Structure 1
Amino acid sequence: MPQNDKRSVKRRTRSERRAQEEARLRAEAEQAEKERKQQTLIGAIVVVVVIALIAVIGITVYRNTHPSSAPTATTSSASLAKAKKAMSAVKPKPSVANSDGGFTFSKDGYNKTISDAPTVAVYMDPMCPGCGQMHRQIDETLKSMYEAGQVNLEYHMMTSLDANSSDDYSSRASSSAVYIAQHDSNPEHLLQYMTNLYAEDFQPSEGSDYVPVSNDKLKEQAIKAGVPESVASKAYAGTYTKWLKAVDSYTTQRNELKNVSGSLKGQMSTPTVTINGKIIDMNKVASLNMSVKDAILNAIGLSESNVGKSGVMPSVSSKDKPKSIDTGE
């Protein structure tokens, strides 16, 4: 083979080898890029999966700690029945109390209602400042209507504010009131006793301002209200405290007693007033700049000038719904 031809063959061989090497390098580079892209994709998928898992866990935690809707303010009939049964099962319990844990009375006595008179029910805690303010406003009027046979009254004692005193004042005062109702047949004494407990110069302040009130001091108010010594001397043994706690549990669940407006809407609070079982909206009373006394009189259809007049009855009977608190219509 001529020398020139041999050199030409060698150049072609080197060129082919270079081309093959370049092709191999390109293939390796393409494979590496392909693998890099696959790894990037896998990494991205992993990140997405992790993020999704975190989101699912977060949603699960959120749903478990934040219900999809606020707890309903309505107590189920089953829960209410259970609370009422528990209240009824407590011993000792006062036989004079009605099935809802209250004390109904008129000028004729306990559980003796005037058939054509409306029933004004008051739910109270002896420690409650709002109760004190209200009772100091309405008690004289309630007593006048009671004496004239214009209304039936119903008192419900509560103990929810025990924690606001250092010596369970609410329980001690309420239990003594229950004992008096059970053992003193004259309901006027109970009416006056609660008036005495809410007197501005007697009702203690709550919380850090609370100054302990002894049973002897409470007893003085009972005697002052006309309660016989024989009853008053035994009224402070906490006889009905356990029963009252069960009453609290039941009463606070009663749907018809829950606030219909304001920041406590859907919750029962003291003081609460009902006319023939229908709640008076205390927030509306405040917004109208009315007194609770005027709201009650409007609701039962009785002018202030007729309060205490025997034979003059409210226009709302025991079977009627209360009138509008602002218009009396």
Structure 2
Amino acid sequence: MTNGGSNEPRPTRNQRREAAREKARQLREEQRKKDRRNKFLLQGGIGLAAIAIVAMVALIIMNSIRPAGPGPANMASDGILIGEGMQTVETTALKAGEEPLPSKPDETGTVADIRVYVDYLCPFCGRFERANSNQIKQWVDSGAATVEIHPISILTSKSAGTQYSLRSANAAACVANYSPNDFFAFNSALFVDQPAEGSPGLSNEEIKGKVKDAGVKSTTAIDKCIDDMTFKSWASDVTERALSGPIPNSEVKAVTGTPTVLVNGKQYTGALDDPKEFAAFVLQAAGETYSTSTPTPTPTPAG
């Protein structure tokens, strides 16, 4: 009868010690391999993160250093000047990086020089436009005044991510470039049912509808200009110039809000929705400009 079990002799103490040492050596080697693998993965992860950070910084720099784009025709002053008969004063387009050329005001005071800096999302601009557009048009049409409209986009971040201010300023430049004598009507159309600040604003298709509402006969080139954002860079540049100043032929150093309304270089600070108060300011500003001549015809409040 046998008791079962191995017939091999039991390991000696030295053999057990060597086996333990070998096992410990194998464990240490496995740990070293694991440490090297983790180190490699960690370094690789840091490298990928560094590459991602560099890429993000490069993108930010690329976006902040925009290539200068050409400006629209008929806006060499950063605005569009409209005179007697509602005819636009035509100017050649600014080349990329070229400085604007300020319009020369009438120094006699016989023609009121009205300049308006507007953002098409600005509710106060809408209030001023709806109250004063008709009488300004009457003055300009008769030759008693000129109006120079400067679209800027200071509320670009206030339209739920759609950049409506920038898109509408670009659209205004498109109309100035391709159909300048329809600009005043288009400018007014953008304030009819004006979208609220903080809303997405108008879509490009809705802006194109405003172009048609303004009576533009051929809209093909303008529609493409709106979709392509042809004058996006220019619209951003004119906004920066208005905010940083100086504002030529003006007592105002820089635009700090919209609307900024100037008459013969003097800023209007009265009620935006009172056409009689604005008309009185126009008369006063014109009267301070001339000494001997009397303006004919004289701006008068719209009835």
Are 1:134 and 2:128 an aligned pair? yes
Query: What is the aligned counterpart of 2:208 among 219, 223, 226?
Result: 219
| Conserved? CA contact 2:244–2:254, under 8 Å | no
Equivalent of 2:298, from 299, 306, 314? 314
Contact 1:184 1:231 (8 Å CA) reproduced: no
1:194 and 2:187 are equivalent in the alignment: yes
RMSD of aligned alpha carbons: 3.2
Deviations 1:211-251 (A, max 9, x none): 45211111111111112323432231211111111111111
**Displacement of 1:294:** 2.4
The verdict on how the C-alpha distance between 1:267 and 1:243 changes in structure 2, with shifts beyond 3 A counting, is: closer
- The SS at the match of 1:139 is helix
Question: Secondary structure of 1:121's partner?
Answer: strand
The alpha-carbon deviation at position 291 of structure 1 amounts to: 4.3
Q: Deviations over 1:91-112 (max 9, x none)?
A: 221232133x111121353227
Q: 2:278 aligns with which of 283, 296, 304?
A: 296
Structure 1 runs of 4+ aligned residues shifted over 4 Å read 112-115, 255-260
AA aligned opposite 1:134: F
Superposed, 1:1-329 pairs within 5 Å as 90-99=68-77, 101-107=78-84, 109-111=87-89, 116-165=110-159, 166-186=161-181, 189-199=182-192, 202-207=193-198, 210-228=199-217, 229-236=219-226, 237-255=228-246, 268-280=256-268, 282=269, 285-286=270-271, 291-301=273-283, 312-314=296-298
Check 1:279–1:267 CA distance in 2 against 1; reply closer, same or farther (3 A cut): same
- 2:113–2:147 CA contact under 8 A, matched in 1: yes
Q: Counterpart of 2:230 in structure 1: which amino acid?
A: T
Gaps in structure 2 of 5+ consecutive residues: 1-64, 91-103, 285-294
Looking at structure 2, the residues matched to 107 and 195 of structure 1 have their Cα atoms a distance apart, in angstroms, of: 18
Amino acid at match of 2:298: P
Q: Which amino acid aligns with 1:214?
A: S
User: Residue 205 of structure 1 aligns to a residue in which SS?
Assistant: coil
Deviations 1:280-305 (A, max 9, x none): 1x2xx24xxx8452233112329xxx
TM superposition shift of 1:255: 4.9
Contact 2:144–2:296 under 8 Å retained in 1: yes
**Aligned partners of 2:171, 2:155: CA distance in 1, in Å?**
16
Aligned residue identity for 1:120: I
**Matched residue type, 2:165:** S
Partner Cα separation in structure 1 for residue 129 and residue 88 of structure 2: 21
Query: How many pairs does the alignment contain?
Result: 205
- What is the Cα deviation at residue 254 of structure 1? 2.2
Q: C-alpha offsets along residues 20-60 of structure 1, whole Å, 9 cap, x if unaligned?
A: xxxxxxxxxxxxxxxxxxxxxxxxxxxxxxxxxxxxxxxxx
Residue 230 of structure 1 aligns with an amino acid whose one-letter code is T
Fraction of identical pairs, as percent = 24
TM-score (norm 1): 0.55
The change in CA–CA distance for 1:252 and 1:242 in structure 2 (over 3 A counts) is: same
Verify the 8 A CA contact 1:259 1:268 in the aligned structure 2.
no
Amino acid at match of 1:296: F
Computing the radius of gyration from Cα coordinates, the structure with the larger value is 1
Supply the AA of the counterpart residue of 1:136. R
Counterpart residue type for residue 141 of structure 1: Q
Pick closer, same or farther for the CA change 1:150–1:221 going to 2, 3 Å: same
TM-score, reference length from structure 2: 0.60
Could you say what secondary structure the match of 2:225 adopts? coil
What amino acid does structure 2 have at the position aligned with 1:226? G
Supply the distance in 2 between the matched residues of 1:133 and 1:120 (Cα, whole angstroms). Answer: 17
Q: What amino acid maps onto 1:94 in structure 2?
A: P
Per the TM alignment, residue 259 of structure 1 is displaced from its structure 2 partner at its CA by: 9.7
Distance change (3 Å), C-alpha of 1:291 and 1:96: same
**What's the CA shift for 1:267?**
6.1
Letter in 1 for 2:259: P
- What is the letter of the counterpart of residue 227 of structure 1? V
* Paired residue type of 1:174: A
